Structure 1
Amino acid sequence: MTQSMSQTVDDLWVLAVAVLVLFVPGVVALLAVRVTRVSTLIGLAPPISCGIASLTAMGCAVAGVPYGPVPLVLVAGLLALAGVWTWSRYPGTPSTGWKRPKPVDSVGVALGVVLVLGAITAGVRAWWGGMGSLRTLPQEHDMVVHTTLTAFVERSGRGAPWQLLPADLLTGTPAQPYPAGLHVLAAVVARFAGDAVVGLNAMTVVVSAVVWPVSVAVLAGVAARRSRISPGIAVLAGGTAAVVAIGLQQPMFLLNHVGGMLPTAAALAMAPGILAVLVTMPPTRGAVLSAGLALAGAVAVHPSACVTVGVSVVAWCAGELFSRGGAEFVVGRLRAVGAASVVGGLLSLPVLVPVLPQRAVVTSFPSEKPAESLTGAVRRVFAIPFDGFPGDVVPLGAGQRAVMLLALVGLAAILIRRGPWGLITTWAVWAVVVLSMSLSPGRGWETVITRFFYNATFRIASHLNLFVPVIAALGVVFSAVALARRLARIPSVHRPPGRWGALGLVVVLTSVYGVLCLPGYLRLDQATVASRFSSPTPYVRVSVDDLAAIRWLAPRVGPGERVLNSANDGSTYLYVLGGVPVVNVMPLGVAAWSPSYSLLRDFNEYRTNRGTRRLLTELNIAWVYVDENTPKISSAGAPANWVAGPQYGLAPGLRGLEALPEVRAEFRSGAVTVYRVDLRAIRGLDTRPQHGVSPGVDTVR
């Protein structure tokens, strides 16, 4: 077996493990409370798995045992035993909501499943192909945090919210709460793979290429059934929605491209499935418990999920008031969703309470884009643009034009058919928010919602695409059903096509899009992934020089020694790959631990600054890692506003180190230099002047 083939087999095994880790705990929990509806199982399993993993990590922290695969498997096993006990004590089969299917429905279900599997295959190929391998290091700045956090959970066994991502890796304090519902599962995969990067990359692929299309398919099926479409064609509508969703640049490809916003992307991927269950669930104990745990799991992935789901549920229920029997429907939802929200809120308290002090930072972020013209804002809503930073945007291609056409046809078809109003109002609410934000980013009334998403246009605009695939799929289905009915009224047509004809037409139209339009769209998407993984030029944060420096330095760092670094380069992989404690794990430093950013600002002033010298000796900083070729990032959110300008690259305190006699270059590869710090000589500066320089003042700003 060749090396490349062996690597492919290894990657496939890890992806399979990631799928199991993300779905099995949730499915076991759902079956334990006697939930058997397939759409609920696949729609809620991922967020419930995240919730179970988070709760397991909390339990391990309280019990004083490390979190990892064994505790998670043990909890899943206990849930399975509880399910066996429940089913044995109450053997009656609960209603699944499905009657014995007709042949046409059976075929529709089978074809819908095939389309979903096809979408998953295409998505995995695009993501995996763009990465090149699961071992490829990501380059985006948020991924610095994600890889470090995954490695920390995997190495330390600490995964509770109050233990996560300590600013000082050597002492494990102070903790800085960070959404880690996905990372605690990625750490389990990392333990299996033996590599935190592999574990996180595998989880990224599974969320983006499996959870996302499945979640959208579930919502499309629910929307179709609300429109009184037969079960088979409803599942087929879900398959069509999955095929459309997998090619969309937003949210999955874009959010992972422009900042490595994996938790936000994951929460958005799970949102359609959660919404589908919330707007159809009965007020039974099992349904309420499962929906509440799913909400808690989504919040653990990213707290903004409660805003995404909350706004969408309210908008959906408002739309249902226009439907026949809508008032009764909404009253039923208020009871069920209200109870599930209470359960989810209580379970989310350990996650939400630690992050509440950060709300001022999150909600005050400036928008990353200037105001647009009305034409540009309308285009953002209706044209399904390929978005990004300057240089990322490409002209509308066949795939984007096809999706735009399908979405417009879907909107028209829903209005003509008069429903499902819940879907159309939910899309409309988010469309108004996106339109308003595009015209006045971070300043208008819409900041009531957008501030919980850092006032980021990319994050807010991505909400539209939670519903565009569903609208497009219903446009195809409604058009096919209408055509079949019209043919049945033509006297010359001796054998009207009926449901079989509608089913066949949906398959044909979806196949045309999948064959003619989707491949080109996915090629652009794959290039988007590659630009931050396998082909990052010119955007390189972790270079071959970084890897060479890491290989050289990791075995030379002694016990108790720290490495001063800037997390805006590849230095954090000293910890991810080698377990070496670096000073900085966040690109701009940590507000709760001032040495993280004060040394980035003042290290090269230690000869005249006694406070800086004291930090160096107290923290036992024996090495300094400098990469002079770092990407530029926004300085928004820098602790104490320590960065002078709007952008941040090489830290000012790490410049000009060659002129400092107590700092000696020990290794150099390209733009990366590793310096040895003579702490004994630095201590001597406090007792005698050096080269005419006074001992300095004691200032740590």
Structure 2
Amino acid sequence: MPTPDTFWTYATTIGIYLVVLVVPGLLVGLAAGLRGWSLAGLTPLFTYAVTGLAGPWLAEFGLPYNVGTVAAVTLLFAGLGFTARKLTARLGWGKEAAGPPVAWTARAHWAVAACVALATVLSVVVVLSAAGGPNAVFQRWDTVYHANGLRYIADTGDGSLTGMSTINWYPDGSYYPNAYHLVGALVYSLSGATVPAALNAVTVPVAGIFALSLVAVIHRFGGRAVFAGCTALVAAAATTGAYESVSSGLLPFALGIVLTPLSAVALQVFLDRPGLDTGFVLALSAAGLLAAHSSTLFGAILLALPLLVQRWWQRKGKPWRDLALVAPAALAAGLMTAPHILGALTFSSGAYPYNPWASDIPVMAALTQLATFRQVLDEPQIWLSLLLAVGVIMLWKLGRMLWVVMSAVLLSAMFVLVASYGAEPWVISMSRPWWNDRYRLMALAAIPLCLLAGHGLAELQRLSAKAIGQWSWLQARPNATGRVGLATGAVVLALLAVLTNGFYTSVNAQAVAYAYHNGPESEHREQPVSADEVRAMLELQKFAVPGERVMNERSDGTAWVYAIAGVKPVAGHYDPSVPPPDAKLLARHFREYDTNPEVRAAVERLNVRHVLIGHGSIQAQYSVTSGLRDLEGLRFLRKEYSNPGAVIYTVLR
């Protein structure tokens, strides 16, 4: 279901997001002394760190979150990074770290950059093809919460960790890490687009960010440029990497997944040369990962732990030295994210229920899903599976990146446990940061699997180049060696593009289409947020008065009314868990307004002046809640507007 945005408005919105994504993080990274691919990779993470810290801390001091205050906080963090760098040099810790074992030529850098750019283009094509248009409304469960939260921050300037939740859990709200929403709020405010268009703009480059993160990892650990370029395009092709989380509507989680590889980059930057500046980089990276999503930092630790194990093995011990060096950075990150940590502790001890998925698919089925890079689709990504097999066979060529194999084993084992033994109490407890959800664990496992598949493709290129280099006429032309490498790299990527039908673009679009109910599986099901409901929401703007809440049905698309029309609903999320007492009362008894004084008191407290009833539902089978059934003809309601899928009433007080 589209909202009224022009193509140029949407194109501008994407451009604004890219500017917002780059500028704060780039300034901070440059000030801290980062350069090259480490700077490029960490830039998006630093942006989400700065905004994710700015919102809660500004709220603590009673200051609004907006473009001006974010600019000020960006300058503050840039100043901290610059000061840390200068102090490090003054203290004699400024010796430059050794560069990566394999230096890339200028031509190699440009070739890898082209691969990252192509991965980003593929990501845009996948998401827009899946959505059916740049201003389509997300239809999955949590997307309404993210949409309403984004608008709340933009409208109110409240960047706290509980404020945006007051749309549904009023009056006090509920904890949720909101870096994703804070960046989205800036994009929405600057672009003039609708909230659905802003959400789509923030989503379209997701696989491009994933590709950039993996390239930064490979470069930091001295991998070949061909390895980096191949992995960038594998990242854009793998369904279980960036796309599957989007297909489930897990938008902040998808962001966290594509930023997770940067934990290895930040950790290695610090270990290569411990100092105040590199410690600042590590601490800010950890803070950004936590601010992106509560599970991201846990996943990042699991991904990077084998890196430390490999380092300790090669150095024959000394783990306590590294841990002692990392501890101050961890403490600094903890201080920066104090509001997040306190909020998470409060949430975990609160009334919100933790309902495990308790998945029990067969172990072989779980392993097959891992190896074929798919869960939501029936079609396996067989060519990526073959590349993964080659990468595993050639693991001895990984060198400093051998830890990736250990990460793959560790994270894949976690996925199998949750997918096959998800009802076991200890598995439920172990997987709590990921809500016992096998889809989330699959996305985490996909990070090292994509690296291994990219390694497999790069090794095929290397073997091809080596075989061609044995030709006698090439041996007589030493200057042709570099050209052979570039040519074989281009050929293997072109061959992969052909074999995968354009890097699995259409397959991935089919997966992402689940998020929009725009695929074949939704042909005979009405969308939760229908075109008629969106028209009614926009019409409601003519009647609504400031400060009112509109009475609505929790399961239909009207929960989107705040994001689309700026009018707060009584039910602002599909989630029925721990509803506010007044919302619960009205859902059951609203139609008794004339005769029930408790209902009238709740209507007065919430300032309910209108009723908005839609037609579709987030649930495949549902019935309208008892308090909103058969409203037609009730004497305390006057119909103001109706269309085939929605109706608006005025409450006659």
TM (norm. structure 1) is: 0.82
Question: Residues 281 and 326 from structure 1, CA distance in 2 versus in 1: closer, same or farther, beyond 3 angstroms?
Answer: farther
Offset of 1:148 from its aligned partner? Answer: 0.5
Tell me which residue corresponds to 2:449.
468
Question: Residues 560 and 482 from structure 1, CA distance in 2 versus in 1: closer, same or farther, beyond 3 angstroms?
Answer: closer
Larger mean Cα displacement after TM superposition, 464-473 or 88-97: 88-97
Residues 1:203 and 2:202 aligned together: yes
Question: Residues 597 and 500 from structure 1, CA distance in 2 versus in 1: closer, same or farther, beyond 3 angstroms?
Answer: farther
Tell me which residue corresponds to 1:558.
545
Tell me which residue corresponds to 2:566.
579
Question: Residues 255 and 99 from structure 1, CA distance in 2 versus in 1: closer, same or farther, beyond 3 angstroms?
Answer: closer
Offset of 1:611 from its aligned partner? Answer: 2.8
Q: 3-state SS of the aligned residue for 1:673?
A: strand
Tell me which residue corresponds to 1:691.
none
Residues 1:306 and 2:297 aligned together: yes
Larger mean Cα displacement after TM superposition, 80-89 or 175-184: 80-89
Q: What do the CA deviations read for 1:134-188 (whole angstroms, capped 9, x no partner)?
A: 332222221111110010000111112243331469xx73222222111111111
Q: Is the 8 A contact 1:112 1:239 kept in 2?
A: yes
Distance 2:185 2:114 in 1: 31
Tell me which residue corresponds to 1:644.
none
Tell me which residue corresponds to 1:242.
232
Q: Is the 8 A contact 2:551 2:611 kept in 1?
A: yes
Q: How many residues align?
A: 637
Task: Name the structure, 1 or 2, with higher relative contact order (CA <8 Å, separation 6+).
Answer: 2
**Equivalent of 2:308, from 307, 314, 317?**
317
Q: 3-state SS of the aligned residue for 2:373?
A: coil
Question: Residues 236 and 601 from structure 1, CA distance in 2 versus in 1: closer, same or farther, beyond 3 angstroms?
Answer: farther
User: What pairs up with 1:134-149 in 2 under 5 angstroms?
Assistant: 134-149=134-149
User: What pairs up with 1:670-681 in 2 under 5 angstroms?
Assistant: 670-679=644-653
**Equivalent of 1:516, from 470, 479, 499?**
499
User: What pairs up with 1:498-513 in 2 under 5 angstroms?
Assistant: 501-513=484-496
Offset of 1:126 from its aligned partner? Answer: 1.9
Q: What do the CA deviations read for 1:17-36 (whole angstroms, capped 9, x no partner)?
A: 21121122112112222223
Distance 1:383 1:85 in 2: 48
Residues 1:656 and 2:630 aligned together: yes
Amino acid corresponding to residue 143 of structure 1 in structure 2? T
Residues 1:570 and 2:522 aligned together: no
Q: 3-state SS of the aligned residue for 1:165?
A: helix
Residues 1:271 and 2:254 aligned together: no
Q: What do the CA deviations read for 1:81-128 (whole angstroms, capped 9, x no partner)?
A: 6677788997999737448997x7333222222211111122122223
Offset of 1:676 from its aligned partner? Answer: 2.4
Distance 1:431 1:99 in 2: 28
Q: Is the 8 A contact 1:476 1:506 kept in 2?
A: no
Offset of 1:325 from its aligned partner? Answer: 3.1
Q: CA RMSD in A?
A: 3.3
Amino acid corresponding to residue 38 of structure 2 in structure 1? T
Q: Is the 8 A contact 1:627 1:672 kept in 2?
A: yes
Q: What do the CA deviations read for 1:23-66 (whole angstroms, capped 9, x no partner)?
A: 22112112222223x23212222222112113322343244332
Tell me which residue corresponds to 1:47.
45
Residues 1:24 and 2:55 aligned together: no
Tell me which residue corresponds to 1:447.
428
Question: Residues 426 and 448 from structure 1, CA distance in 2 versus in 1: closer, same or farther, beyond 3 angstroms?
Answer: farther
Distance 1:488 1:562 in 2: 72
Amino acid corresponding to residue 663 of structure 1 in structure 2? L
Offset of 1:267 from its aligned partner? Answer: 0.6
User: What pairs up with 1:395-544 in 2 under 5 angstroms?
Assistant: 395-396=379-380, 400-415=381-396, 420-443=401-424, 445-482=426-463, 494=475, 501-517=484-500, 519=502, 521-533=504-516, 535=518, 537=523, 538=525, 540-544=527-531
Offset of 1:491 from its aligned partner? Answer: 9.3
User: What pairs up with 1:109-148 in 2 under 5 angstroms?
Assistant: 109-148=109-148
Q: 3-state SS of the aligned residue for 1:67?
A: coil
Q: 3-state SS of the aligned residue for 1:547?
A: helix
Distance 1:310 1:44 in 2: 16
Q: Is the 8 A contact 1:320 1:421 kept in 2?
A: no
Q: Is the 8 A contact 1:542 1:570 kept in 2?
A: yes
Q: What do the CA deviations read for 1:327-376 (whole angstroms, capped 9, x no partner)?
A: 35x55643444333222222122012123233267783221x74112321
Distance 2:308 2:80 in 1: 34
Tell me which residue corresponds to 2:187.
189
User: What pairs up with 1:334-413 in 2 under 5 angstroms?
Assistant: 334-359=323-348, 364-367=354-357, 370-385=359-374, 387-388=375-376, 393-396=377-380, 400-413=381-394
Q: Is the 8 A contact 2:174 2:347 kept in 1?
A: no
TM (norm. structure 2) is: 0.88
Q: What do the CA deviations read for 1:561-595 (whole angstroms, capped 9, x no partner)?
A: 32111343332443223322221212134637322
Distance 1:222 1:490 in 2: 33
Distance 1:606 1:569 in 2: 22
Distance 2:404 2:80 in 1: 37
Q: 3-state SS of the aligned residue for 2:288?
A: helix
Q: Is the 8 A contact 1:112 1:236 kept in 2?
A: yes
Q: Is the 8 A contact 2:16 2:191 kept in 1?
A: no
Q: 3-state SS of the aligned residue for 2:142?
A: helix
Question: Residues 254 and 20 from structure 1, CA distance in 2 versus in 1: closer, same or farther, beyond 3 angstroms?
Answer: same
Q: Is the 8 A contact 2:540 2:565 kept in 1?
A: no
Q: Is the 8 A contact 1:35 1:41 kept in 2?
A: yes
Q: 3-state SS of the aligned residue for 2:261?
A: helix
Q: Is the 8 A contact 1:127 1:209 kept in 2?
A: no
Q: Is the 8 A contact 1:621 1:677 kept in 2?
A: yes
Larger mean Cα displacement after TM superposition, 613-622 or 236-245: 613-622
Amino acid corresponding to residue 245 of structure 2 in structure 1? L
Offset of 1:198 from its aligned partner? Answer: 2.7
Larger mean Cα displacement after TM superposition, 572-581 or 483-492: 483-492
Distance 1:624 1:288 in 2: 54
Question: Residues 480 and 257 from structure 1, CA distance in 2 versus in 1: closer, same or farther, beyond 3 angstroms?
Answer: closer
Distance 1:158 1:470 in 2: 39
Amino acid corresponding to residue 235 of structure 1 in structure 2? A
Offset of 1:306 from its aligned partner? Answer: 1.8
Q: 3-state SS of the aligned residue for 2:529?
A: coil
Question: Residues 312 and 168 from structure 1, CA distance in 2 versus in 1: closer, same or farther, beyond 3 angstroms?
Answer: closer
Distance 2:511 2:50 in 1: 33
Offset of 1:527 from its aligned partner? Answer: 3.2
Q: Is the 8 A contact 2:154 2:188 kept in 1?
A: yes
Distance 2:416 2:549 in 1: 48
Question: Residues 157 and 670 from structure 1, CA distance in 2 versus in 1: closer, same or farther, beyond 3 angstroms?
Answer: same
Gaps of 5+ in 2: none
Tell me which residue corresponds to 1:641.
none
Offset of 1:402 from its aligned partner? Answer: 0.6
Q: Is the 8 A contact 2:139 2:527 kept in 1?
A: yes
Question: Residues 449 and 336 from structure 1, CA distance in 2 versus in 1: closer, same or farther, beyond 3 angstroms?
Answer: farther
Q: 3-state SS of the aligned residue for 2:641?
A: strand
Residues 1:615 and 2:602 aligned together: yes
Q: Is the 8 A contact 1:219 1:470 kept in 2?
A: no
Tell me which residue corresponds to 1:254.
244
Amino acid corresponding to residue 355 of structure 2 in structure 1? F
Percent of pairs identical after alignment? 20
**Equivalent of 1:289, from 280, 289, 304?**
280
Offset of 1:599 from its aligned partner? Answer: 2.1
